[in-house]
């Protein structure tokens, strides 16, 4: 494990002070132009130097004919060029002193034949000039904390704590919006492409040392430096969870991965074993990859797999119990002390077993305050799974009936919702036990949004919540808890 993120060869790639860009032009339909637009859109703060053989300006920015003409040696070169010219341009970069590059262009190893030879040439040139580079056949880096987006996909830049190292560029660009909808964001995301030089292990190592990264997500189609991958992961896991989605395990996934990046995928079992050995949590889908990251980054490590389910409705409670059971979690009985303490808040039509069902209640405050507190204090509970339902409309109606004046209702409703969400958000830290929620309502409702942005993962169904809690248990076990 690296001591300082600045020691990583990827540091100037993810935090460049200045960038030379090859391939942008004043023609709107070139890919290089899209990359430049993305850099401008996120507001990269350092100098940008378009390199163009004929144009004096590109999108209004002074352009240069050759990297040798630049007023300084930029930290990073971004190459979005036709395959055949990439080697000579990389060489020109090397000659002018540039030591870091992102090669976006495709048409190398992944297409076979001459592409293999061209990729070998790239590596020779890079070695000669000691250039470290990402790609080819990648889309580069997004580091919203540095206002850096080298991809062709514009991004409005919620900066977050999920670090991503991906063997697919789409799992960087397509996750911008996907994570935003989960109230999550990237710390830094790397697309490593063909890994001719920098590979996914280097990216993972960087993220392990990056102080803004709370959890590492890996999208893997095939690992080449197996031993170093295992060693590096093993050194990171005790400090920071790693979740991996490996698409190359199945027969079809293997073929697809091969034609995508030319990576040789190994059998599912081999990867399963490797992940388990070094404490990486395996996700079986893209959704799970980020679900797991979410709970791992926000919730404390549980001491065991015993879950108490809190609901005010039987069906959602039964569905959650079923989901926990299928995910290998336990649903313990409540202690008699807990039952006694709960009794004043649970009517006879409810249930004091687990799931705890408060049923229809006139005063929802008990559901958000006394109940979760009492349940988290039960010695037999390692985690709490809560069914959340507090529609704005219902609170408004209730306050209206309670006599709150019409012009104050919206404000009082928001206050009511925000206070309850805040109380819930404080619980996992105070009790040092994970609290996860689920709802079938719209995730953009104020209450759910407040919980989510306050660090409580709320899933749109119990099955996803249960699998995510299972990931918490696996991580705690990997850390020896």
| Window 403-442: residues binding its own copies (CB under 8 A) | 440-442
The residue behind tokens 């890919």 is 31
Query: Binding its own copies by CB under 8 A: which of 208, 317, 372, 437?
Result: 317
How many residues interact with its own copies (rule CB under 8 A)? 79
**CB nearer to its own copies: pick between 170 and 335:** 170
What is the rounded distance in angstroms from the CA atom of residue 135 to the CA atom of residue 228? Answer: 20
- Of the candidate spans 125-133, 228-236, 323-331, 449-457, the one that interacts with its own copies by CB under 8 A turns out to be 323-331
Q: What contacts 97, CB < 8 A, 6 or more positions away?
A: 73
Residues 119-158 that bind its own copies (CB under 8 A): 154
Residues 30-59 that bind its own copies (CB under 8 A): 31
Q: How far is the CB of 478 from its own copies (least distance, A)?
A: 24
Query: Binding its own copies by CB under 8 A: which of 2, 61, 70, 111?
Result: 111
Determine if 85 is a binding residue for its own copies (CB under 8 A).
Answer: no
Q: What contacts 17, CB < 8 A, 6 or more positions away?
A: 46, 74, 75
Q: How far is the CB of 72 from its own copies (least distance, A)?
A: 31
Are 302 and 383 spatial neighbours (Cβ–Cβ below 8 Å)?
yes
- Of the candidate spans 23-31, 54-62, 87-95, 406-414, the one that interacts with its own copies by CB under 8 A turns out to be 23-31
Query: Binding its own copies by CB under 8 A: which of 45, 325, 340, 411?
Result: 325
Q: How far is the CB of 324 from its own copies (least distance, A)?
A: 6
Query: Binding its own copies by CB under 8 A: which of 252, 270, 343, 479?
Result: 252
Q: How far is the CB of 141 from its own copies (least distance, A)?
A: 16
Query: Binding its own copies by CB under 8 A: which of 239, 255, 410, 415?
Result: 255
Residues 375-394 that bind its own copies (CB under 8 A): 389, 393
**CB nearer to its own copies: pick between 426 and 443:** 443
Residues 343-372 that bind its own copies (CB under 8 A): 348-349, 351, 353-355, 357, 359-360, 362
Neighbours of 107 (CB within 10 A): 16
Q: How far is the CB of 370 from its own copies (least distance, A)?
A: 20
- Distance between the two ends of the chain, CA-based, in angstroms? 22
What is the rounded distance in angstroms from the CA atom of residue 275 to the CA atom of residue 452? Answer: 29
**CB nearer to its own copies: pick between 18 and 287:** 287
Query: Binding its own copies by CB under 8 A: which of 6, 315, 337, 411?
Result: 315
Q: How far is the CB of 111 from its own copies (least distance, A)?
A: 6
Cα–chain-centroid distance for residue 84? Answer: 35
**CB nearer to its own copies: pick between 252 and 479:** 252
**CB nearer to its own copies: pick between 389 and 478:** 389
**CB nearer to its own copies: pick between 50 and 106:** 106
- Of the candidate spans 205-213, 234-242, 278-286, 298-306, the one that interacts with its own copies by CB under 8 A turns out to be 278-286
**CB nearer to its own copies: pick between 70 and 443:** 443
Residues 171-230 that bind its own copies (CB under 8 A): 171, 174-175, 177-178, 181, 219, 221
**CB nearer to its own copies: pick between 218 and 478:** 218
Three-class HEC string of the chain: CCCCHHHCCCHHHHCCCCEEEECCCCCCCCHHHHHHHHHHHHCCCCCEEEECCCCCEECCEECECCHHHCCCCCCEEEECCCHHHHHHHHHHHHHCCCCEEEECCCCCHHHCCHHHHHHHHHHHHHHHHCCEEECCCCCEEEEHHHCEECCCCCCCCCEEEEEEEECCCHHHHCHHHHHHHCCCCEEEEEECCCCCCCCHHHHHHHHHHCCCCCEEEEEECCCCCHHHHHHHHHHHCCCCCEEEEECCCCHHHHHHHHHHHCCCCCCHHHHHHHHHHHCCEEECCHHHHHHHHHHHHHCCCCCCCEEEEEECCHHHHHHHHHHHHHCCCECCCCCHHHHHHHHHHCCCCCECCCCEECCCCCCCHHHHCHHHHHHHHCCCCCEEEEECCCCHHHHHHHHHHCCCCHHHHHHHHHHHHHHHHHHHHCHHHHHCCCEEEECCCCCCCHHHHHHHHCCCCEECCHHHHHHHHHHHHHHHHHCCC
Q: How far is the CB of 479 from its own copies (least distance, A)?
A: 26
How far CA 209 is from CA of 16, 142, 165, 170, in Å, comes to 17, 17, 13, 24
Residues 282-311 that bind its own copies (CB under 8 A): 284-287, 309
Would you give the binding string for its own copies spanning residues 440-459, x where CB under 8 A is met? Answer: xxx-----------------
**CB nearer to its own copies: pick between 266 and 314:** 314
**CB nearer to its own copies: pick between 314 and 455:** 314
- Of the candidate spans 26-34, 62-70, 121-129, 468-476, the one that interacts with its own copies by CB under 8 A turns out to be 26-34
Q: How far is the CB of 362 from its own copies (least distance, A)?
A: 6
């Amino acid at each position: 494990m690296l001591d300082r993120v600045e020691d990583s060869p990827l540091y100037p790639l993810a935090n460049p002070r200045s960038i030379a860009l090859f391939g942008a032009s004043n023609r709107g339909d070139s890919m290089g132009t899209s990359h430049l637009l993305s850099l401008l859109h996120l507001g990269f703060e350092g100098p940008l130097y378009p390199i163009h053989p004929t144009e004096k300006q590109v999108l209004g920015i002074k352009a240069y004919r050759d990297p040798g003409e630049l007023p300084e040696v930029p930290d990073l070169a971004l190459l979005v060029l036709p395959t055949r010219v990439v080697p000579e341009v990389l060489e020109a970069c090397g000659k002018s002193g540039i030591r870091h590059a992102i090669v976006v262009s495709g048409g190398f190893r992944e297409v076979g034949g001459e592409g293999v030879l061209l990729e070998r040439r790239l590596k020779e040139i890079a070695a000669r000039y000691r250039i470290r580079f990402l790609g080819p056949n990648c889309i580069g880096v997004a580091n919203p904390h540095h206002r850096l987006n080298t991809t062709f996909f514009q991004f409005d830049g919620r900066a977050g704590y999920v670090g991503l190292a991906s063997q697919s560029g789409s799992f960087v660009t397509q996750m911008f919006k996907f994570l935003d909808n989960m109230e999550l964001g990237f710390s830094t995301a790397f697309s490593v492409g063909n890994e001719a030089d920098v590979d996914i292990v280097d990216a993972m190592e960087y993220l392990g040392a990056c102080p803004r990264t709370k959890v590492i997500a890996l999208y893997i189609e095939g690992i080449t430096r197996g031993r170093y991958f295992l060693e590096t992961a093993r050194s990171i896991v005790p400090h920071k969870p790693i979740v991996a989605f490996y698409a190359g395990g199945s027969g079809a996934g293997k073929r697809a991965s091969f034609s995508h990046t030319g990576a040789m995928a190994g059998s599912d079992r081999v990867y399963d074993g490797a992940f388990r050995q070094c404490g990486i949590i395996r996700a079986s889908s893209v959704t799970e990859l980020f679900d797991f990251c979410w709970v791992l980054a926000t919730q404390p490590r549980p001491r065991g797999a015993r879950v108490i389910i809190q609901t005010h409705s039987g069906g959602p409670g039964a569905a959650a119990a079923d989901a926990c059971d299928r995910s290998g979690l336990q649903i313990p009985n409540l202690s008699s002390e807990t039952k006694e303490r709960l009794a004043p808040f649970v009517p006879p039509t409810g249930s004091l077993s687990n799931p705890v069902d408060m049923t229809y209640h006139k005063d929802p405050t008990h559901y958000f305050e006394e109940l979760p507190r009492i349940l988290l204090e039960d010695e037999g509970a390692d985690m709490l799974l809560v069914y959340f339902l507090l529609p704005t409309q219902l609170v408004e109606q209730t306050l209206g009936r309670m006599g709150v004046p019409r012009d104050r209702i919206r404000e009082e409703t928001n206050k009511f919702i925000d206070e309850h969400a805040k109380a819930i958000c404080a619980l996992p830290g105070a009790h040092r036990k994970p609290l996860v929620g689920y709802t079938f309502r719209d995730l953009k409702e104020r209450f759910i949004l407040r919980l989510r942005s306050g660090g409580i993962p709320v899933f749109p169904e119990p099955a996803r919540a249960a699998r995510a809690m299972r990931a918490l248990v696996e991580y705690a076990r990997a850390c020896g808890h």
